[in-house]
């Protein structure tokens, strides 16, 4: 056991597969552990390099194994797949991870702290509740439309439909009240829960220096700032702002050959939640810039681009710029400078 230098660890809910090699690359360990056996086994093992796929529970195990003295590295699953030779099973996955973790060009995911994971849980729960709220509002609108009752668009206008259930007996027979009453009650409860999560996100934002600095960037508010700060523990792992934007999927998809560059629409690879938030924030910022209410180099650049490109394409290009500015703030530990805007190529299409 003292010859082991590298271990590929395939984690699951209850069964964990290990694949260990020595300094010469010879296999010296193939073992299956149950959950309760994991911590005692690695505490007795001499310090070594351990590779794991970056998933939800990987950060917990990484913290546990680091406390036991091991060097733990998390690898994006998509970067491990090319090293899988044939059939997929736990033993093959562990061997693949063991091979991938030793590659000099491999990129790794920083281990998140419990506080960062807790902040991301707030965002996940909020996103789930918002989707449920949207479904309930759409259901209420659809059913009331069958009765010829239509309320203005907007989530806040759904209250008009709920009020009809309580007050207007001319349009709501008893069967309608029985059918839609539970939907209205659930909608009100979910709105209260979303408000509670919003307060928790604001509290996390106020206690995070990185989040406070990010919120000074146009198009970034407390929700986006806290999500960025928690999702990117170490921005220095990215070479530059363009690589960070590429990780978010905000750069053009490239299919170049023979020295001829071919750029298409944005790749939409990487962190889907952050990309969505940044694009939504860019839309909001672009509306203000379009009306001339904001005067800055960034706003002037956006208005110039709007003269040649569509609004949505410019919004994605602005999200790209915002992502690059956010990377500079996180990696260099600086404040936002409104007079400085990094230059980059505009996506060919959206």
* Side-chain-side CA neighbours of residue 14 (13 Å): 0
pTM of the model: 0.85
**Positive or negative CA dihedral for 329, 231, 269, 308?**
negative
Give the pLDDT of residue 17: 95
pLDDT for the residue numbered 347: 45
CB 280 within 8 A of CB 318: no
pLDDT at 349: 42
Distance separating alpha carbons of residues 18 and 289, to the nearest angstrom = 55
In the prediction, which pLDDT does 339 show?
A: 73
User: What would the 3-class secondary structure string for the chain be?
Assistant: CCCCCEEEEECCCCEEEEEEECCCCCEEEEEEEEHHHHHHHHHHCCCCEEEEECCCCHHHHHHHHHHCCCEEEEECHHHHHHHCCCCCCHHHHHHHHHHHHCCCCCCCECCCCHHHHHHHHHHHHHHHHHHHHHHHHHHHHHHHHHCCCCCCCCHHHHHHHHHHHHHCCCCCCHHHHHHHHHHHHHHHHHHHHHHHHHHHHHHHHHCCHHHHHHCCCCCCCHHHHHHHHHHCCCHHHCCCHHHHHHHHCCCEEECCECCECCEEEECCCCCHHHHHHHHHHHHHHHHHHHCCCCCCHHHHHHHHHHCCCCHHHHHHHHHHHHHHHHHHHHHHCCCCCCCCCCCCCCCCEC
The per-residue pLDDT for 338 is: 79
How many angstroms separate the CA atoms of 309 and 346, rounded?
Answer: 10
User: pLDDT in tens for each of the 350 residues of the chain?
Assistant: 558 999 999 999 899 999 999 998 899 999 999 999 999 999 999 999 999 999 889 999 999 999 999 999 999 998 998 898 888 899 999 999 999 999 998 989 999 999 999 999 999 999 999 999 999 999 999 999 988 888 888 888 888 888 888 775 565 677 888 899 899 999 999 999 999 999 999 999 999 999 999 999 999 999 999 999 999 988 998 989 999 998 999 988 888 888 888 877 888 888 889 999 999 999 999 998 988 777 888 888 999 999 999 999 999 999 999 999 999 999 999 999 877 655 544 444 44
Are 42 and 36 in contact, with CB atoms under 8 Å apart?
no
pLDDT of res. 341: 53
> How many residues are recorded in the chain?
350
Q: Residue 344 has what pLDDT?
A: 47
């Amino acid at each position: 056991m003292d010859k082991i230098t590298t271990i590929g660890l395939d984690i699951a809910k209850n069964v964990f597969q290990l694949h260990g090699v020595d300094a010469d690359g010879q296999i010296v360990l193939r073992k299956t552990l149950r959950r309760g056996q994991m911590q005692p086994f690695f505490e007795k093992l001499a310090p070594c390099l351990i590779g794991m796929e970056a998933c939800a529970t990987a950060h917990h195990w990484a913290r546990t194994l680091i406390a036991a003295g091991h060097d733990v590295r998390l690898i994006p699953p998509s970067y491990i797949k090319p090293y899988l030779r044939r059939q997929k099973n736990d033993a093959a996955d562990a061997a693949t991870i063991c091979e991938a973790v030793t590659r000099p060009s491999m990129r790794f995911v920083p281990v998140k702290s419990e506080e960062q994971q807790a902040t991301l849980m707030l965002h996940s729960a909020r996103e789930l509740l918002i989707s449920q709220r949207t479904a309930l509002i759409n259901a209420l609108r659809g059913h009331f439309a069958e009765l010829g009752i239509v309320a203005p668009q907007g989530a806040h206008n759904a209250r008009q439909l709920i009020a009809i259930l309580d007050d207007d007996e001319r349009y709501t027979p008893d069967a309608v009240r029985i059918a839609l009453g539970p939907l209205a009650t659930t909608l009100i409860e979910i709105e209260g829960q979303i408000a509670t999560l919003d307060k928790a996100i604001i509290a996390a934002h106020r206690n995070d220096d990185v989040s406070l600095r990010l919120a000074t960037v146009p198009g970034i508010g407390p929700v986006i700032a806290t999500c960025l700060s928690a999702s990117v523990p170490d921005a220095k792992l990215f070479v530059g702002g363009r690589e960070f934007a590429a990780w978010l999927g905000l750069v053009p998809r490239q299919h170049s050959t023979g020295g001829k560059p071919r750029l298409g629409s944005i790749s939409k690879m990487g962190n889907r939640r952050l990309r969505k938030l940044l694009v939504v924030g860019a839309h909001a910022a672009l509306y203000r810039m379009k009306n001339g209410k904001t005067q800055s180099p960034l706003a002037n650049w956006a208005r110039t681009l709007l003269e040649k490109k569509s609004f949505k394409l410019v919004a994605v290009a602005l999200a790209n710029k915002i992502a690059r500015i956010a990377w500079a703030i996180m990696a260099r530990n600086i404040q936002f400078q409104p007079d400085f805007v990094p230059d980059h190529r505009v996506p060919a299409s959206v």
